[in-house]
Structure 1
């Protein structure tokens, strides 16, 4: 009877790679990404099990590791939308690290060195956004990252003898599962809410939390929601550094659930992502570098701060010599001008880990219309320069 795997779960976040990578052995790891969303039409009538078995067969996964993956599918469907699993054999015992995300990632499998590229793709293709939701009763701050929404801070604007507002402690929620604030904070007697402008204390307290979160890098872009008056009062409090992070606004009640807030902000989130990617493409075209050969050369000279990649990089071919140097075209006669030896054909996705490690480059993966523009106008690869 096989030994049940020792399993460690993690939610996908910025610290995931830092914690996960040192815990994985360098070789003989089964890496597999599965769309386990129970609501997906692709997963009906046993299709998930059949598709998973094909992915396992394609990489000749060892029987014990394959069995652990198959036995995990029902649990995975109860937990998340996409599950990334890393499994290996340690002295006859199956060890497993799993990472869950609400993002939709391409399904992949590999047996050998751990395949961390799906994690990089998820982390590097999603901006960290703060939703600030304000009306005359509530001030709330929620983080949106990697397809999940989490409430960070909440103020209730109440009329009392000593306080003009009170802070509610926010529990750690499941993604999209927050109840309305009124349901979470039941009271025996009705609360009289006062004007949000009174004394400026309410907005000042909320703004202090926004500033703190910005200083520690908790968000890159700010979306403002709530009532018309609440949004206007909040904007008036913003300093010059925070004004530059505003990516849009949307109307919503202050006590909306997380799912309702996510729906209300969806259009603004999509517009924000479009603007971000368009701006970085414009910068690369006007003052950066583009084209496969020029971009890879600049990356390997340490001049590129941000590398722009179409899709996940798996469609673009490159060549690599034994020193790790990467070329956009095969060198003459298949001989590396650096080492004098042969080169191996790879796809760009496979060499991105080395480029990150050696040159400290940040990769931004582009999709949809921005990926098409990168392919047609810039040769499929571009970079924003450090200098």
Structure 2
């Protein structure tokens, strides 16, 4: 009887790929992405088990690995949205690396070389956002990335006899750079000011922390929430370098829970994603390449910094020779002009790992109307030039 799988769990972050990839064998790995959210309507009534069976059958997963996947679905303590699992047989023992994320990723499966594209899709499509929340009593800074929200810093405006305020720095054990930046803050430092001076110092202290986090590269975009007065005060303090990161605002109480703030921020986050994707498409038109042929040629000549892909690249066909060269159309007679050998038809998604590694490309996955625009008007593929 096969032994229970040896499982290693992790949460998706920017170090996941660096740690995961060396731990996986090069072949015979079952890679499967499943929506495991117990509160999701499509997962009710045994639907999750049925979809998992279909994904496993589609790739001919070995029985021991498929059984390990199905056994894991009975885990009632699951509290994540999407689970990415990588399983392989190590001399009769099932090994598994599991990554959990709150992002909504498409369900996929593969047996063979490890399929790390879902992780790349998540990491390369999620902006690092700082949410600043401020009202008369509280100033708070929260990081939003990869579907997770983490409170980094809290400033309490204590209007008592002494008119002081107090700093609270929250631990961030899973984000070393965020923790280092937060630890630069003064701790429980009383400030003696009255009335408007007190509020002014309160606002400036919170903005100082925003600037510090920006200086160490913690966030790319800034959202501001809170009361009307608090939001206006913080906007007025944005310097030139922070004005370019400001991406929107919304009303929220200063003492709202992190979960409530994440829910309230969703419309702004979706709008932000649309703005970022539109901006990068416009940039490709202004100083880049578009069309599958010109873009792939420029990418493989080292002239592209960023590749823009519709969806996850699974719908676009390409051809690859034994040297790894990628062609947008099959060469004449199916023979590579570089190697003289045959070429293999595959998807763009299949060759993205090699393009990243060989040419240092950052891949930007587009969705919604931006993906439709890329497909309909830009030849299905575009890129931003390196210089």
* TM-score of the pair, normalised by structure 2: 0.91
Alignment of 1:215-254 (within 5 A): 215-254=215-254
Deviations 1:118-155 (CA, angstroms, capped at 9, x unpaired):
00011111111111001111111111112222211111
Contact conserved, 1:157 with 1:196, CA < 8 A, in 2?
no
- CA drift at 1:40: 2.1
Residue in structure 2 matched with residue 109 of structure 1 by the alignment = 109
Residue in structure 1 matched with residue 379 of structure 2 by the alignment = 379
Alignment of 1:124-135 (within 5 A): 124-135=124-135
How many residues of Structure 1 are paired with residues of Structure 2 in the alignment?
A: 369
Cα distance change on mapping 1:196 and 1:219 into 2, 3 Å: farther
Contact conserved, 1:158 with 1:194, CA < 8 A, in 2?
no
Cα distance change on mapping 1:90 and 1:163 into 2, 3 Å: farther
Residue in structure 1 matched with residue 142 of structure 2 by the alignment = 142
Contact conserved, 1:31 with 1:110, CA < 8 A, in 2?
yes
Residue in structure 1 matched with residue 340 of structure 2 by the alignment = 340
Cα distance change on mapping 1:3 and 1:273 into 2, 3 Å: same
* TM-score of the pair, normalised by structure 1: 0.91
- CA drift at 1:170: 2.8
Contact conserved, 1:322 with 1:339, CA < 8 A, in 2?
yes
Matched, 1:322 2:322: yes
Aligned equivalents of 2:333 and 2:294: distance in 1?
Answer: 21
- CA drift at 1:172: 5.8
Residue in structure 1 matched with residue 40 of structure 2 by the alignment = 40
SS of residue in 2 equivalent to 1:30: strand
Aligned equivalents of 1:112 and 1:32: distance in 2?
Answer: 11
**Unmatched runs of 5 consecutive residues or more in structure 2:** 175-192
Contact conserved, 1:8 with 1:98, CA < 8 A, in 2?
yes
Contact conserved, 1:150 with 1:173, CA < 8 A, in 2?
no
Contact conserved, 1:134 with 1:140, CA < 8 A, in 2?
yes
SS of residue in 2 equivalent to 1:79: coil
Aligned equivalents of 1:58 and 1:123: distance in 2?
Answer: 27
Contact conserved, 2:319 with 2:330, CA < 8 A, in 1?
yes
Structure 1 stretches of 4+ moved >6 Å: none
Aligned equivalents of 1:195 and 1:18: distance in 2?
Answer: 51
Cα distance change on mapping 1:279 and 1:91 into 2, 3 Å: same
Residue in structure 1 matched with residue 363 of structure 2 by the alignment = 363
Deviations 1:171-204 (CA, angstroms, capped at 9, x unpaired):
5699xxxxxxxxxxxxxxxxxx985752733223
Matched, 1:6 2:6: yes
SS of residue in 2 equivalent to 1:352: helix
Contact conserved, 1:196 with 1:202, CA < 8 A, in 2?
no
Cα distance change on mapping 1:77 and 1:112 into 2, 3 Å: farther
- Name the stretch that deviates more: 106-115 or 85-94: 85-94
Cα distance change on mapping 1:228 and 1:124 into 2, 3 Å: same
SS of residue in 1 equivalent to 2:170: coil
- CA drift at 1:160: 5.8
CA root-mean-square deviation: 2.0
Residue in structure 2 matched with residue 305 of structure 1 by the alignment = 305
SS of residue in 2 equivalent to 1:339: coil
Aligned equivalents of 2:195 and 2:58: distance in 1?
Answer: 63
